Amino acid sequence: MTASSGTLVEVKNLSKVFSRGKEEVRAVTDLSFVAKPGRVTGFLGPNGAGKTTSLRCLLELVTPSSGLATFNGQQYSELENPAKLVGVSLGFTGLHPGRSAYKHLLVYATAAGIEEKRIDEVLELVGLTNAKNRKAGSFSTGMKQRLSLATALLGDPEVLILDEPVNGLDPEGIVEIRHLLRNLAAQGKTVLLSSHVLSEVQQTVDDVVIIAKGKKVKQCTLQELIEDTRPVIHVVTPTPEKFNSFAGGQVNLAGDRVSIYDTSLAKVGNFAFTNNIELHELSEELLDLEQVFLELTGDRNV
């Protein structure tokens, strides 16, 4: 695959075991997934699931115990000028508090052989132009997050790897980053972003890779994940027991409240009308994506 057709990020059977004294901690186990060009891939899982360790293995900041990760078949350390192919933001750390935003970018632009005029461009892209001479130590978490993103964008890379990029951002900032990332994916770039909150990135990602306890539990498109959700119809009625005879879905009774899974509003409405049941409420919980995510990652007691 050439650079013009994008860069495929591929993780193959990646495992990482840390040794803490005599104890071994298995952070990532046999993880495999791909992130494709032109798409935003969400790398999702609860805190401690192994997302950051996986990304650090991918970037060779951490040496995997086994397996490997490649960019169009090349490992990170084999890339000729990695900053021009892969842009990375590992959160809002990695900033010297005594160094201004502009000078922070100057250091890494210089190391990567990137022209200085690009610094102003990326500062503009992330909305930090007015703060470019301020020291990073005076930045809010959101501003640090933006500066870290600007660092990732310095080399106008084919691939963006972002660890929790919306952490600490206000709602307006989240929307801006979403538009930016969607725009970059539309240009054919590969975007891989991690998050522990699905709802934060739900409107940004095309594909999802979900991990829990270091293991992949699902890789699919966001649409496929949505299709996995089970619609729930909520009914409030003085005669809930009458719904025991409803055959079009799974019925749960709790007081005067009835929850019916795997059915539709129309079927339940028709059943109530046909059986002359008095209804005080009839509603549908339209999107249960977060609950699916929590079920997959084992974070929900169901």
Partner 1 sequence: MFKQMRAEWYKVFTTKTWMGIVLAAFVFTAMTVFGYVQIAGTLGIPTLEDVRLMNLLYGGSATGVALALILGVVGATAEYRYGTVDHTYLVEPKRSRVLVAKLVVHAIIGSLVGLASFGIAFATTTAAVSGKAHAEVSTSSLIEIGLATVAAFAIYTMLGVAFGSLVRNQLVGVAATFGWIFIFERLMVVFTPDLGKWLPGGAVNGLFGVTAIMNGQEYLPRNESALLLLAYGVILIGACLIVTPKRDIN
Q: Is residue 27 helix, strand or coil?
A: strand
Q: How many residues bind partner 1 (CB under 8 A)?
A: 34
Nearest Cα neighbor of 205 from 38, 12, 63, 26 is 38
User: Using the rule CB under 8 A, is 12 a contact of partner 1?
Assistant: no
User: Using the rule CB under 8 A, is 98 a contact of partner 1?
Assistant: yes
Buried b (16+ CB within 10 A) or exposed e, 27-49: bbbebebbbbbebbbbbbbbeeb
Binding mask 140-159 for partner 1 (x = CB under 8 A): -----------x--------
Nearest Cα neighbor of 27 from 50, 45, 4 is 50
Among 8, 108, 264, 279, binds partner 1 (CB under 8 A): 108
Nearer to partner 1, 163 or 207 (CB): 163
User: Using the rule CB under 8 A, is 97 a contact of partner 1?
Assistant: yes
Nearest Cα neighbor of 8 from 74, 63, 55, 56 is 74
User: Using the rule CB under 8 A, is 90 a contact of partner 1?
Assistant: yes
User: Using the rule CB under 8 A, is 40 a contact of partner 1?
Assistant: no
Report, in Å, the least distance between residue 243 CB and partner 1: 53
User: Using the rule CB under 8 A, is 1 a contact of partner 1?
Assistant: no
User: Using the rule CB under 8 A, is 112 a contact of partner 1?
Assistant: yes
At residue 300's C-alpha, the angle toward residues 295 and 301, to 5°, is 120
User: Using the rule CB under 8 A, is 25 a contact of partner 1?
Assistant: no
Among 72, 100, 190, 195, binds partner 1 (CB under 8 A): 100
Whether the Cβ atoms of residue 157 and residue 72 lie closer than 8 Å to each other: no
What separation in angstroms does the CA of 193 have from each of 66, 137, 264, 295, 302? Answer: 23, 25, 34, 21, 28
Nearer to partner 1, 167 or 264 (CB): 167
Stretch that binds partner 1, among 2-10, 43-51, 85-93, 118-126 (CB under 8 A): 85-93
Report, in Å, the least distance between residue 24 CB and partner 1: 14
Encoded tokens for 261:
């899974």
Q: Note the residue count of the chain.
A: 302
Encoded tokens for 74:
């090349």
Give the separation between CA 53 and CA 63, rounded to whole angstroms. Answer: 10
125: which residues sit within 8 A by CB, 6+ positions away? Answer: 150, 153, 180
Report, in Å, the least distance between residue 30 CB and partner 1: 19
User: Using the rule CB under 8 A, is 238 a contact of partner 1?
Assistant: no
Report, in Å, the least distance between residue 148 CB and partner 1: 9
At residue 191's C-alpha, the angle toward residues 162 and 31, to 5°, is 75
Give the separation between CA 251 and CA 258, rounded to whole angstroms. Answer: 7
Give the separation between CA 150 and CA 95, rounded to whole angstroms. Answer: 12
Report, in Å, the least distance between residue 66 CB and partner 1: 15
User: Using the rule CB under 8 A, is 17 a contact of partner 1?
Assistant: no
Report, in Å, the least distance between residue 299 CB and partner 1: 23
Site of interaction with partner 1 (CB under 8 A) = 18, 53, 56, 59-63, 76-77, 79, 82-83, 86, 88, 90, 93-100, 103-104, 106-108, 110-113, 151
